[in-house]
A and B are shown apart, each in its own frame.
Chain A
Amino acid sequence: MLLSIKNLHASINGKEILKGINLEVNEGEVHAIMGPNGTGKSTLASVIAGREVFDVTEGEIKYKGKNLFKLSVEERSREGIFLGFQYPVEIPGVSITNFMRTAVNEQRKYRGLDPLPAGEFLKMMEEKKKLVEIQSNLTNRSVNEGFSGGEKKKNEIFQMAILQPTLAILDETDSGLDIDALRIVANGVNTLRTKENAFVVITHYQRLLDYIVPDYVHVLFEGKIVKSGFKELAIELEEKGYDWIKKEFE
């Protein structure tokens, strides 16, 4: 098993957000997490990635069989965890090229590899740019600075394509995308999909799941996964909304 979350409780400033999450993700699987606004989806993603502002008060996360909480943010990344941010942050003065070169080489160092020669790195950049149909002038710019909403999301997939994670958590990567961009993002994910890696896709729209077909769909509500099913669950949610789940839950 790649990821196993048991009875996870997390809070921020004393306010409990996650109230006992259980989730298991195996290699080769795609999981979709849906749920109303403000129920803790991004919080769950942040806790997995190691964001320090959240306090884990109970429960455990095992990744590749090991206690995830023992790893720093960067170690989790180097062990293959990737978070596609819901709101990618702008970093003026750091070019995407410089950012990715640093990231790739630090990841390689962790694996005992020498830095990637400049030529090879640039070749890889070109390949991945094609994959997500990202313009060259974008990668010379500062990270996310002045990017449109869609460009920011494509940039997340671009970074994922470069880093080739084992577990990718994509937090609303489809929000704010036009149909073409959605197809490009989905195509990026599908190209990277193998038997060894897994994806957790957080989304509000069943539409994305037409392109990235999930093995499981979960509904997160008030800090708990209250319902799990297969891709048909997403269709049902799209039709009926969350009210019936809320009722069922209450």
Chain B
Amino acid sequence: MSWRKKDMTGSRKNLNDMQSITKDRISKEGMMYLFEKNFGRICQNDTKPISEIRGKALSSFRELGFPNKRMEEWKNTDLTESLGKIYDYNFDPVSGVAGKNIFQCNIPHLDTAVIGQLNGWYISKDVPLIELGNGIIMGSLAEAMVRYPAIVEKHLAKYAAFGNNGLTALNTAFAQDGVFIYVPDNVQSPKPVQMINVIQYTTDIFLQSRNLIILGKNSRLSLVHCDDSYNHEGSFSNIVTEVFLDENSFLDHYKLQNLNNNSTLISTTVMQLEKAAHLDSHFLSMNGGLIRNNTRIDFQGNDGVANVYGLYLMDRKQHIDNQVFVDHAKPGCTSNEIFKGILDENSSGVFNGHVLVRKDAQKTNAYQSNRNILLTDTAKANSKPFLEIYADDVKCSHGSTTGQLDSEALFYLRQRGIGEDSARMLLLYAFAAEVVSKINIPQLRNSIEDMIKKRLQGELQICEQCVLHCTTPEHPIEFNIDVSKI
């Protein structure tokens, strides 16, 4: 197999000389070759420590390779088909067809600071890094490596371990850009930050971006992180996000996934919580071909709180896999996981929750719950909440249910004159409400409620074919990409 440079003719006209596109099936050998060939570009912004990390990560990947079904933690999610496709890989930013309304599923009436990524690259008109008056820095990770090497070095690859995870190793070795957010000590972000990661490309694309979110002591941030695709081409995204919550900080985190059916998204999010840090994390998966969320919460200080909520609505042959690992390494911490799924047609859902309570983590509170509704005989759910406890003074519980829609409740509603379809909707909607009600931002909650309703009525598709008829945002986000500035 050879990784060849794709001949750049035809539709891609705006590419400058720096552009490189490689096109082939993904394999371990291929990736190694690709790294060597594009070494210069990949490492162009690296400081020495970051270069070293890349080197280590590459050796890890060489050892581990891509996951396969023989691995315990991958036995319910098969990447064979996703890895078997032919993808473009870009080592320089590519412009898409930067239409005005490329991203319409914005949240109406929500005033956010928007940062966008297109095909894994941070995009901006002319400011790759925004520095707000209050000290908040947000923008391109590539740029942050150059401008704030000390901060980046302190945190990058410190939380997302790659020694035993081939995909994280691959991302760590390859990632060139992504989003960087830094909230200094004692600063509260006045408005939510919305990170929009759009895939819009003319053929199947492989992308790996890396995000680094740092919250200082006593700081506060709301972060809405959207993964969207614009057209129907396939994609394989291997995204790693590291989040550091320093003492007493608060992060309200949302991951909103709405990708097309040909997409594969491996989203690894590792969050480290220092003393008394508080995390609310919401994983709202509306659509996607194959989604794997690897979520890891590390309590590294006492009295931390992590609420992790998940809602997934799958149909057709879609597959979602939520792996949540919570490490109670310190005493007095509380973790609370509620994951709910509605699985229709031939879709499948996996939940693997692992809570580890270490010996010293006394007074731990841990709760895990996963509930699934199967709407057809062919939909499947695989649920495995798991508690591993070595401390004795703890309160831990877990539960898991998988079943059909409650036929007695359905009859009750219909007996009052509510049509069967509406009654089903009401029940499904009520099922989802437990997770939706945890959304702290009212406008976002309304918008998600609306999306869920439409999704359950089979109306919600990804943008291009979107029948969502979402109100055109007052200020549509324009992707105006100036490649030279990135």
Interface residues of A (CB under 8 A from B): 49-52, 72-74, 76-78, 82-83, 85, 88-94, 98-100, 102-103, 106-107, 110, 142-143, 159, 163
CB distance from A51 to the nearest CB of B (A): 6
**Interface residues on chain B, size class:** 20 to 34
The 3 closest A-B pairs by CB, nearest first: A93-B430, A77-B417, A103-B416
Docked complex Cα distance between A50 and B413 (Å)? 13
**Contacts A72-B420, A76-B415, A106-B422 supplied; 18 other A-B pairs, CB < 8 Å:** A52-B411, A72-B414, A73-B415, A74-B417, A74-B418, A74-B419, A77-B416, A89-B409, A92-B434, A93-B429, A93-B432, A94-B426, A94-B430, A103-B418, A106-B417, A106-B418, A107-B417, A163-B417
> With a CB–CB cut-off of 8 A, which chain B residues contact A103?
413, 416-418
Contacts of A82 in B (CB 8 A): 415
Q: Which residues of B contact A49 (CB under 8 A)?
A: 411, 415
- Complex contact A93–B431 (CB within 8 A): yes
Contact of B414 among A74, A94, A98 (CB under 8 A): A74
Q: Which residues of B contact A73 (CB under 8 A)?
A: 411, 414-415, 420
B408 is an interface residue with CB less than 8 A from chain A: yes
Min CB distance A1 to B, Å, is 23
Known A51-B411, A88-B412: A93·B418 in contact at CB below 8 Å: no
CB neighbours (8 Å) of A77 from chain B are: 414-417
Is there an interface contact between A93 and B434, defined as CB atoms closer than 8 Å? yes
B393 on interface, CB distance cutoff 8 Å: no
Complex A-B: 5 CB contacts under 8 Å: A49-B415, A73-B420, A74-B420, A77-B414, A103-B418
| Bound: A51/B415 CA distance, A | 9
Q: Report the bound CA distance from A103 to B432 in whole Å.
A: 21
What residues of A have a CB within 8 angstroms of the CB of B420 in the complex? Answer: 72-74
Interface string of B105-123 (1 = CB under 8 A from A): 0000000000000000000
Residue of A nearest to B430 (CB): A93
A82 to B431 Cα, complex, angstroms = 26
Query: Is A83's CB under 8 angstroms from B415's CB?
Result: yes
> What separation, in Å, do the CA atoms of A199 and B302 have in the docked complex?
63
CA–CA, A92 and B420, complex, Å: 18
**CB-nearest residue of chain A relative to B432?**
A93
Q: Does B406 contact A (CB under 8 A)?
A: yes
Distance between A27 CB and nearest chain B CB, rounded to angstroms: 20
- B427 lies within 8 A of chain A by Cβ: yes
Q: Which residue of A lies closest to B431 (CB)?
A: A93
The answer to whether B419 and A106 touch across the interface, beta carbons within 8 angstroms, is yes
Q: A74-B414, A74-B419, A103-B417 are in contact. Are A91 and B431 (CB under 8 A)?
A: no
- Chain A residue numbers with a CB within 8 Å of B406 are 89, 91
**Chain B's nearest CB lies how many Å from the CB of A31?**
20
Residues of B within 8 A of A50 (CB): 415
Contacts of A110 in B (CB 8 A): 417
Contacts of B433 in A (CB 8 A): 93
Q: How far does the alpha carbon of A88 sit from the alpha carbon of B406 in the complex, in Å? A: 13
CB distance from B312 to the nearest CB of A (A): 17
- B33 to chain A: closest CB distance in Å? 53
In the complex, the chain B residue whose C-beta lies closest to that of A80 is B417
Whole-angstrom CA separation of A107 from B418 in the bound complex? 8
B412 in contact with A85 (CB, 8 Å): yes
Most buried by A among B412, B413, B414, B415: B415
Residue of B whose beta carbon sits closest to that of A53? B407
Asked whether A102 lies within 8 Å of B426 as measured between CB atoms, the reply is: yes
Contact A91 B430, CB 8 Å, known A73-B411, A85-B412, A99-B413: yes
Which B residues touch A52, using CB under 8 A? 411
Nearest to B429 among chain A residues (CB) is A93
CB-based nearest A residue for B434: A93
Please measure, in the bound complex, the distance between the C-alpha atom of A82 and the C-alpha atom of B432, giving whole angstroms. Answer: 29
CB-defined contacts of A142 to chain B, threshold 8 Å: 430
Q: Are B430 and A92 in contact (CB under 8 A)?
A: yes
Residues of chain A within 8 A of B417, CB atoms compared: 74, 77-78, 103, 106-107, 110, 163
Contacts of B408 in A (CB 8 A): 89
For A159, give its contact among B416, B419, B431 (CB under 8 Å): B416
Q: Within residues 379 to 432 of chain B, which ones have a CB less than 8 A from any CB in chain A?
A: 406, 408-409, 411-420, 422-423, 426-427, 429-432
Q: Which residues of B contact A91 (CB under 8 A)?
A: 406, 409, 412-413, 427, 430
A4–chain B nearest beta-carbon distance, Å: 21
Residues of B within 8 A of A163 (CB): 416-417
Give min CB distance, A112 to chain B, whole Å: 14
A159–B417 alpha-carbon span in the complex (Å): 11
Residue on B nearest A92 in the bound complex, by CB: B430
Assembled-state Cα–Cα distance A52/B426 (Å): 20
What is the distance, in angstroms, from A110's C-beta to the closest C-beta of chain B?
7
Most buried by A among B406, B416, B418, B420: B416
Within the assembled complex, what's the spacing in Å between the Cα atoms of A94 and B434?
11
Contact A94 B427 (CB under 8 A): yes
Q: How far is the CA of A78 from the CA of B409 in the complex (A)?
A: 18
> Closest approach, in angstroms, between the C-beta of B11 and any C-beta of chain A?
48
Chain A residue with the shortest CB-CB distance to B412: A89
Of A51, A82, A91, A142, most buried by chain B (CB within 10 Å of CB) is A91
B418 contacts across to A, CB distance below 8 A: 74, 99, 102-103, 106
Q: Give the Cβ gap from B408 to chain A, nearest Cβ, in Å.
A: 5
Tell me, in angstroms, the Cα distance from A2 to B408 when the chains sit together.
Answer: 27
A85–B420 Cα distance when bound, in Å, is 19
Residues of A within 8 A of B414 (CB): 72-74, 77
- Distance (whole angstroms) from the CB of B311 to the closest CB of chain A: 13
Tell me which residues across on chain A come within 8 A of B422, comparing CB atoms: 102, 106
Closest beta carbon of chain A to B22's beta carbon, Å: 49
Which residues of B are found within 8 Å of A106, using beta-carbon distances?
Answer: 417-419, 422
- How many angstroms from the CA of A78 to the CA of B423 in the assembled complex? 14
Bound-state CA distance A78–B408 (Å) is: 19
- Chain A residues positioned under 8 Å from B415 (CB to CB): 49-50, 73-74, 76-77, 82-83, 85
**B413 to chain A: which residues have CB within 8 Å?**
91, 94, 99, 103
0/1 per residue, B268-300, Cβ < 8 Å to A? Answer: 000000000000000000000000000000000
List, in ascending order, chain A residues with CB within 8 A of B430's CB: 91-94, 142
Within the complex, the shortest CB–CB distance from A82 to chain B, in Å, comes to 8
